[in-house]
Each structure stands twice: as C-alpha cells, then as structure tokens.
Structure 1
Amino acid sequence: MKHNMWILIVFFALAGCKGKDGDKLTIWVMGAEGEKIKDVIALFEKENPDISIRIQSIPWSDAHMKLLTSVIGGTTPDICQLGTTWIPEFASMNALASLDRYVEGSDVVKEGNFFEGSWRTNIIGSSIYGIPWYVDTRVLFYRKDILKEVGYDHPPSSWEEMKYLCHGLVRDTNGDGIPERYAINLPTSDAFILLIFIWQAGGDILSPDYTNPTFDDPKIREAFEFYYSFFDEGLAPLGGTADIDLFHAFKIGFLPMFISGPWMIELLSKQVPEIDGRWAVATLPKKETGTSFIGGCNLSIFKNSNNKEAAWRFIEYMSRTENQTRWFELTGDLPAVKAAWDQDVLNVPIITAFGKQLEDARPSPPIPEWEEIRDKMEVYLEEVIYKKRSMDEALEFLQRDVKKILSRR
C-alpha cells in the first residue's frame, strides 16, 4: 500500500511539472505547409525536449471559417499560421496575444532583421501581434526571348517604357482587331495590382490614420487610368486568367508578360518545363516609385494559450537565419529574415529579383475592413474595364462606399 502511494505521488509530481512547463503545444498550419513542417518540428523537439507540438493541417479554403469558429468557441490553438491580411481582423477580435514583451526580450526576433513591409503587417496600433514567417511579393514575369525579338534585352523599368514595350509586343497580323499575341496578362478585377499602381503613382486609398478614404485623389485616378489603358489599347485581353490557361499562353507567347508572386516559379517549371531558361522575373516598372505589395504568412500566438512561453520559443526557432533558409529549401517560401538572403541557395537571379522587390514593398491597410474595401475596389475596377461604368462614377462611388464602411466602426 505504501509502495503504491509513493508511485502515485511520483506520477502526479511528474505530471505537474510537465503541465507547469507548458510543453504541449498545438499549432495550426495551412495548406501544403502542414505536411512539410513535420520535419522542422521534429528538429525543434529534438533541440527542445521539454516541448512537444501537435500539428493540425487545415486547407486554405476552410481556414478562415475554422479560425472564426475557434475564436467564438474558445478552442483556438497555441500558435497559428495567419495570412498577413488576416492579422488586423483577428487582432480586432481581441483573439491574439500581444508579443511586445517577447520581442523586447529576444536576441533573435528584432524588427531590423525582417523586411520592413513584412514586419508592418503585424503592427496594429502600437503593438505587434505576429512575427513574419515567410513573405511573398508581386514581380514581373516575362519571356526573355520574345522581348529580345522586339529589341529589348532587359525588362521595362518605368511605366512609360512598359507601355512602349507593350505596344511593340502586340501582334495582329490580319488587322481584325483580335491579336495573335497580346503584351501582358492582367486580371480585370485585382485590387492588389490596382493598389500597387496607386502606390507607384504616389497615392494611397486611405488617410494616414485609416479613417477616411481618398479615392478623390488625382493620383488614384492616374493609377485607374493606367490599369484601364492596357485593356482600352488592346494590350491585355479582357477576361484575364479567368478565361485563359496562363501557362499555355505564356508557353506559346500569346501572353509574354504577367504580374504574379513566387509560387509561380515552381508552377511554371512543372507546367511548362520546355520554356525553362526562356523566362525571367524582374522588379516592377516605376512611376514615382516601384512599390509592390508584400504578403506571406505570420506566426501568431492566441490570447487564450496557456503555453505562451513555449510558443514563443518555437517562433524564435523559426526566425533563426538557418531555419528560415531550411524552410525555403523545403517549400520555396521566401524568407522573411533578410540575413537568409545572403545564403548561396537564394543567390540565383530568379530569386534575387524577389529579394530586391521586397526592399520596396508594402502591406495592404492594417484594418479589419480591408477585405470589404478590396471587394468594392474589384467590383468598380471591373465595371470600368468593361465600360459598364465611367471612371468618374466609379471613383465617386468608391469614395462613398468606403466612407460608409469605415463609419461603422
């Protein structure tokens, strides 16, 4: 009896220590990362034997609703991968833990270690609610051989050069108004590309304090006109990627240029390997600036986690230069830590172009209303491109609608 009592005492003492250490973490990871992160977590657990991590992989299509449900039901994980545009929404729900004190005491996670735009995706008010995990940005993909045919041995560097090149690329040999080759693929409704053009023209869609829309700014009209002109001048096909197999169109030269992100590198190599070596990427052409959008994913700790210290140790681990590089090798996801870009594995032209663009890249407005504003921008942009609404009216309605959205705060 006495022997059994000692066994029970030792068992509960050990169990108590384990719980106190907070060594059982749950992490939610989206899409393909959910499978690929297993090897990284195994290495983390080997280095930190007092912490074990349970992974739940969630498809991107289900992720947002599952997160909302978990916040409402109080069943959030300790750590979660969040898209950069989701941080404002979940921070406004008071669901995320502020990481200010952890950052202040960290020798690994420092603001200057990360791309500025990526770090800013986590700042709400004056607090930080996530740490950049990996990044993406939009750049220009182009067929080197086709540009060379029209006298260009380099990508366009300005808006003016871009338009000149596009007119040179279009081919309509029989003059029927239906080109055998367009110059560029642009979606007819893409708020991110429109936002990029607005920034490049020197504008912004909201006041600095994010309380008022600024769609009456002439610089925004200039960006709208630039976007619209590609369709009006027959340089881009109506319908965009919705009606076109972009990979085939890029392969046969029907669309020798398009704007996209780093995920296209692997997709192009798999879908159209026969043109490997004949395409390249470049930073976006400039107006006042060459600014692009910065996205990617961050790692956040939920407010109701009982294992915040252990969760922070995992975030620090993922923020180390060698682990950022390892993650790139596993997935192709671009490192958020700038020092990782000095490694040989990233020193290839297709990748370095992204690194250069990331030095001039901004996040979307860090407000929970962004998704609703984005929807409005895309609706009115498409109506302008299809000539269902005048540009003056579209901008007037955008100013009105976004003002209403912001007034509901």
Structure 2
Amino acid sequence: MNKKVLLVTLIISSLLIIPACRTKAPGTPLQDYTGVELTYYKLHDNSEVISPYIDEFIKTHPGLKINYRKFTDQENYETTILNEMAAGKGPDIISMPNTWFASNYQKTTPLPQEFASIDQYDQTFVSIASKDLIFEDYAPSTDQEETRRIYGIPLHVNTLALFYNKQHFEEKLPQRGRPAGNWNQIREETPQLTLKNTSFTGLQRSAIALGTANNISLATDIIYLLLLQGEISFYNQSLTAAIFSSDGAAAADNKAFNIIDFYTSFASESKPNYTWNKFVTSDAPGQEIQAFAKGEVSMIIGYPETYQQILGQIEVLKNQGEQTIVKDNIRISPIPQITTEESGSKKSTYAKYYAETVSRNSQHSELAWEFIVFMAQQENAKKYFEATKKPTSRRDLIEEQSKHPIYGVFVSQIGYAESIPMVNAEKYREIITTLINKINTSGLQQTDIKLAQYQINQLIPTEGVINK
C-alpha cells in the first residue's frame, strides 16, 4: 500500500461516522520518517493533553518527531503566528481562531480533497464548522470539479451559556428556581434578584453582569450574540462592508439601536432593570467571575472554561478567608433567546473556538493533515473531551456528551451556534468597547452605532472580509 492510499484510508475511516478500521494493510512495512519534523502551536492545552496523541501517531510513523508548543497568552500567540507566517516560517500545524479563517485562509493549506469530501465533512462535524472553515479554493486546478475546500478541523466548539446561582433563584424566584429562557423575562425579573444599598456602588447584589464593557470579560461577545439573535446582518451579502446599523429606520425602530439599548439598560440607573455598573468590580479581566464566586451577582455569561474559572476563584477566596458560594449552587442553563420558545423563531448562541489547520509554509502538509485528522477521530475526540471538557465538534458524540451534568448544556447548543468572521477581532473589540463606554457615560445615540460601523468598515479591505 503506497503512502497516498494509506493516507486516504486513514482519513476516510476517521472522518466518516463508522467504527475505526485498520490504517495499514497486514504485513505492509511502516515507512521510515527519520529526519522529518512537524511543529504544532496551540493555545492553553497542556503537553499532557497533546502528547498521548503524538505518541500514538508516531507508532505508525517511526522516526517522525512532532514538536508541540503551548501558549498561554492569546495576544502573544496570535501575534507570533502571524509574524512567523508572514516571514515564511512558523509551525506546520496551527490551532487558529474560527473568526480568523475568512481573512487568513490563504495562509493555510487546505485538506487534500482525496482525504474527505465536503459532504463527508458536513456529516461528521457540526454545521458551524462548514460555515466557518470551508471556502472557495484560492488556487483551483483546471480539472477540479469541487471548488470549495476544507481549511480547518475543529476539535471542539465553545458556545456562550448562562451561569446562575441556584440559591438566589430558590430564594427570590421559587416558582421556577432557574433563569427564564428569554431576555425579556430576564429583564423583567432582574429587580427581584437585585439588592440595593447605600454603598459607593449602590448595589449589594447584582442580578446579572450586563451593561458595561470594561468589567465584563465577554461584553463584546455578548453584543455579537444579541445581534445574531436579533437576526441583524453584521455584513452585507458579499462581506465587503459592515451594515449592522444601516437598516434605515429611526432610532426607536432600528434593530441594532434596540439591541445595544437593551444591553446597556442593565447599567442605566434610570431603567427598572438597573443592576450593574462600572464600580461593582474593577476592570481586571475576570472580575465578574470573582463577583459570582462571592455571591455578589446571580448570573454571568460564559464559555465552558468559565466553570473551572469559578471553582478557581472560590479556592482563592477561601484561602483569603472570604465568603464564597458553595459549588452545588453553580448551575448552567442555555443562553436566553430574544424570543420565546413558543414563537417558533430560530435559536442562536455565539460560538468561539479554535480549529486545527496546516500552514501554507509547511514542507510536510499532507503528513500534518494526517495527524490533525487522527486527532479528530471519534475515540480520540472522546479522550480530548475527557481531558479538556471542551464540547465536541463531532455530530456522533453530541448525544453522549449532552448528558454530562455540567458541560452537557454547551453541547446541546452546538446545533444552533453561530459566529461572525472578522478582519481584526481585537480592533473590533476595542471599537465595541468604546461604544459601550460612551453609552454608559452619556446615553445612547444612533450616531454612536453608526460611528462604530464606520470604524469597522475602515478595517475591511477592498476585497472584503474574505481574503480572496
């Protein structure tokens, strides 16, 4: 069996939703990969998580060396990748943010077409993977029938959900004992959970961490979530311009205006749902998580990793002799929707995740893709969830993982997860943060939203968000 046939057999057996099969014919000698090295960059995952996959893969690729480098700082990670790739260097395998692919997929090498078809990919991975990671081939051959190509394989998909303090809801809203499933009810019930006082902040306990930017870690992601739930197009159809504030309606009827107004109302003293302000916590990252751990806020919005961050804060606070909530009162519910379930409108949650891809600079792109697909096999995907608690990207593991007592909520939302491609996620974040801060200080004007849209449009190249 030659190398190409071996690769195809491996890929097809791992992408299709069928039991794993042999990747080599009996008696076929293993190829010697001595002198071949792959470099793999990834954020957060310890080498203890990745090393078992490397060790297992090398068993069928003797002599191969895979150098894994873990990064802990997101800004440093992303800057390093872009700088090294621009210099024609960098890793073979990159774990890349899903929002990057539209503008940067030309810097990567697509999955070889003989490895898996678009249909096989879509049958195996959740739909957001196809939406975020499949693009028109930037260098199609003349005899190529399918011009779309796969540029990434996600090992997980993170979505936003609602963390809440069970005790607070049993005390104040015992008729349900949990948050409402839609934002209007959340807003209406906020006064019942909010405890005011005469302190500097004016708040003894907040109902939910919403309304500001600097002391809510995921404020920008929450704005994206609400825009998606409101079915507001962030870009025009060709993705050449941001249009989220351009529906032409007056302020009272402008969808984006109403979304931003809803969000900031939770930090507006003139609104009945006022429950949060810039003084409740400091501006340090993750302070709303600490407030939740202290029992000073009943609800926060977070990703799967937020659960461990809450537990970590509880441990730190206990060591400092401070009061904390008990672990059993940490509960998670699906992200609320703008409309009620009875309305029949579509559901949406915001997804932020990383997908593995191969650099265009790699000298061993097929081998690098082979390793990525090996990691994404069903059994290996199960092990990845067990090690990281990051929800699966594979359709055939959703039913099993959705039963998990903590992370099952996130898995159950994957089917309606959405995202927004970005030219520069950090610049977008700065623009949205400035918008929210301006509103918190001087109130909301439609011109403020139009200015944010204009500033984002200044970042978009002539050819659009998708770098063709």
TM-score scaled by length of structure 1: 0.85
1:137-156 aligned at under 5 Å gives the runs: 137-151=159-173, 152-156=176-180
Aligned residue for 1:167, secondary structure, equals helix
Structure 2 residue runs without a partner (length 5+): 1-30, 137-147, 214-218, 248-253, 316-324, 340-345, 464-468
CA contact (8 A) 1:95 1:302 kept: yes
Residue 455 of structure 2 is aligned to residue 401 of structure 1: yes
Instruction: Specify the code of the residue in structure 2 equivalent to 1:96.
Output: T
Given the superposition, is the C-alpha separation of residues 22 and 127 from structure 1 closer, same or farther in structure 2, using an over 3 Å criterion?
A: farther
Q: Say which is worse superposed, 294-303 or 25-34, in terms of deviation.
A: 25-34
Residue 296 of structure 2 is aligned to residue 254 of structure 1: yes
Q: 1 CA distance for matches of 2:235 and 2:157?
A: 24
Name the structure 1 match of 2:418.
Answer: 362
1:138-217 aligned at under 5 Å gives the runs: 138-151=160-173, 152-172=176-196, 178-186=202-210, 188-189=212-213, 190-214=219-243, 215-217=245-247
Q: Deviations over 1:157-191 (max 9, x none)?
A: 11111112212111125699812111111362322
Residue 71 of structure 2 is aligned to residue 58 of structure 1: yes
1:336-355 aligned at under 5 Å gives the runs: 336-343=393-400, 347-355=403-411
1:220-235 aligned at under 5 Å gives the runs: 220-232=256-268, 233=271, 234-235=274-275
Name the structure 2 match of 1:314.
Answer: 371
Instruction: Specify the code of the residue in structure 2 equivalent to 1:331.
Output: T
Give the CA deviation at 1:247.
4.1
Name the structure 2 match of 1:328.
Answer: 385
Q: 1 CA distance for matches of 2:438 and 2:236?
A: 25
Aligned residue for 1:137, secondary structure, equals coil
Name the structure 1 match of 2:152.
Answer: 130
Q: 1 CA distance for matches of 2:35 and 2:237?
A: 41
Name the structure 1 match of 2:26.
Answer: none
Give the aligned length: 386
Q: 1 CA distance for matches of 2:115 and 2:410?
A: 27
Aligned match for 1:304, one of 327, 345, 361: 361
Q: Say which is worse superposed, 296-305 or 32-41, in terms of deviation.
A: 32-41
Aligned residue for 2:432, secondary structure, equals helix
Name the structure 1 match of 2:8.
Answer: none
Aligned residue for 1:359, secondary structure, equals helix
1:52-91 aligned at under 5 Å gives the runs: 52-60=65-73, 61-91=75-105
Q: Deviations over 1:41-83 (max 9, x none)?
A: 1122224446432222334342122112211221122211112
Name the structure 2 match of 1:291.
Answer: 348
Aligned match for 1:97, one of 85, 90, 109: 109
Name the structure 1 match of 2:432.
Answer: 377
Q: Say which is worse superposed, 247-256 or 63-72, in terms of deviation.
A: 247-256
Give the CA deviation at 1:103.
4.9
Instruction: Specify the code of the residue in structure 2 equivalent to 1:163.
Output: R
CA contact (8 A) 2:113 2:149 kept: no
Aligned match for 1:29, one of 3, 28, 42: 42
Given the superposition, is the C-alpha separation of residues 113 and 241 from structure 1 closer, same or farther in structure 2, using an over 3 Å criterion?
A: farther
Aligned residue for 1:142, secondary structure, equals strand
CA contact (8 A) 1:117 1:361 kept: yes
Q: 2 CA distance for matches of 1:46 and 1:208?
A: 47
Instruction: Specify the code of the residue in structure 2 equivalent to 1:306.
Output: Q
Structure 1 residue runs without a partner (length 5+): 1-16
Name the structure 2 match of 1:219.
Answer: 255
Instruction: Specify the code of the residue in structure 2 equivalent to 1:390.
Output: L
Q: 1 CA distance for matches of 2:211 and 2:40?
A: 35
Given the superposition, is the C-alpha separation of residues 157 and 173 from structure 1 closer, same or farther in structure 2, using an over 3 Å criterion?
A: same
Give the CA deviation at 1:106.
9.2
CA contact (8 A) 1:213 1:403 kept: yes
Q: 1 CA distance for matches of 2:279 and 2:420?
A: 25
Q: 2 CA distance for matches of 1:372 and 1:127?
A: 28
Q: Say which is worse superposed, 309-318 or 49-58, in terms of deviation.
A: 49-58
Q: 1 CA distance for matches of 2:66 and 2:437?
A: 45
Aligned residue for 1:118, secondary structure, equals helix
Aligned match for 1:280, one of 331, 341, 360: 331
CA contact (8 A) 1:216 1:395 kept: no
CA contact (8 A) 1:118 1:363 kept: no
CA contact (8 A) 1:364 1:370 kept: no
Instruction: Specify the code of the residue in structure 1 equivalent to 2:228.
Output: W
Q: 1 CA distance for matches of 2:104 and 2:241?
A: 22
Q: Say which is worse superposed, 43-52 or 288-297, in terms of deviation.
A: 43-52
Q: 2 CA distance for matches of 1:115 and 1:316?
A: 15
1:8-27 aligned at under 5 Å gives the runs: 18=32, 23-27=36-40
Instruction: Specify the code of the residue in structure 2 equivalent to 1:193.
Output: I
Aligned residue for 1:55, secondary structure, equals strand
Aligned residue for 1:54, secondary structure, equals strand
Percent of aligned pairs with the same residue?
21
Residue 132 of structure 2 is aligned to residue 118 of structure 1: no
Give the CA deviation at 1:395.
1.5
Instruction: Specify the code of the residue in structure 1 equivalent to 2:133.
Output: N
CA contact (8 A) 1:130 1:299 kept: yes
Q: Deviations over 1:277-314 (max 9, x none)?
A: 11211111111444121111111011122212211211
Name the structure 2 match of 1:270.
Answer: 312
Q: 2 CA distance for matches of 1:304 and 1:55?
A: 17
CA contact (8 A) 1:185 1:241 kept: no
The RMSD of aligned alpha carbons is 2.7
Q: 2 CA distance for matches of 1:99 and 1:391?
A: 47
Give the CA deviation at 1:140.
0.4
Q: 2 CA distance for matches of 1:279 and 1:336?
A: 25
Q: Deviations over 1:168-222 (max 9, x none)?
A: 1111256998121111113623221111111112212211221222212321112
Q: Say which is worse superposed, 130-139 or 371-380, in terms of deviation.
A: 371-380
